[in-house]
Structure 1
């Protein structure tokens, strides 16, 4: 049997927007822009040939078709998530770390983190920037810049002001156990290895709001 399905990203955008009744909140959850969510929903409506939302001034309302469609789509995603969870080895969590291009990964000694946290599978994408974080390609980012990004928690990795290295995570996932574990490990590692950043570094939490 061949399943005739709309694009998965469009379904995810619809399901998140329908739950929140907001493209902005859906975008924050999916780590994309509100415009991207709106475009995905519009493409889904065109493919289905029905309107799923009424777009009023500063308000998003599900149409009758959207209300009928949402429960089955949410249930489908729940089944996929449960099946994936059962397939994954017990306790295994994947953390995808993005790193800007000028960081020498050998000096970070990430093997120590992997050894200390065997329950967390760490994957690294380099080079990576805020675009990869916004698009959901990475969960956490070591970025170079000023570190002020609305909707993201930014922790400075070195002393001083102006440009620097920052650990950046979406505020919605910044307190997930695997992210906290990496942040705490990185704080301890940099404290023990000050030459990694040329002077003794510290993490200074800055709200992105």
Structure 2
């Protein structure tokens, strides 16, 4: 019989019945009625063209054919159980592989992962820098990726947002709105006539502002820790950022408890 035609549920019922030599005890194990067990056995006998049990007055007895096949069937179910265990062990790996923009890693993500790691001491994190474009989750063996912009559009990729984002203007304490501008790619429309300095990412722009090189307009999520530490101050209220931070992954990764739990923590931490 071809693999695609194997009556696996009926074989499971047969194995339990053969082990107990009782439809009633097999039904208790399988959480079904004895009548349902009997129906499955009769259907299996018809499908295979083999009598599996002799019905005696008080119990059951295996036919020679059933007795001969039972050990191989039980080994098969043990192999199924081992395969399921290996699949679950892979999904429950204690390593989380993430990709995120370098600025987000430096200014927000590492601190949040440290907080999360204190709650889950057995977890380990692997974080790769990823600035723009589509992420190859398979090649990079990623569980989760974070990007700034719009909702993911790639087929099979789903996301959760960290919430609405705003651009805020920050500078070193004592600096004013007349400070030189520091530009970066996430704010191509810096409201200055001319930028005194252009840097590769908003994290570097915040550090340059803290060093007294000017003011910069950056996503609020990236600036909050430096503002709280007093390294920079807010010069202007936030304006809509034109995008959000998205935590994204393919459908299979969202089935992993470790991914769902981390996403729930990060989305709560950003609120």
TM-score between the two structures when normalised by the length of structure 1: 0.44
Structure number with greater CO (CA < 8 Å, separation at least 6) is: 2
TM-score between the two structures when normalised by the length of structure 2: 0.35
Higher CA-based Rg: 2
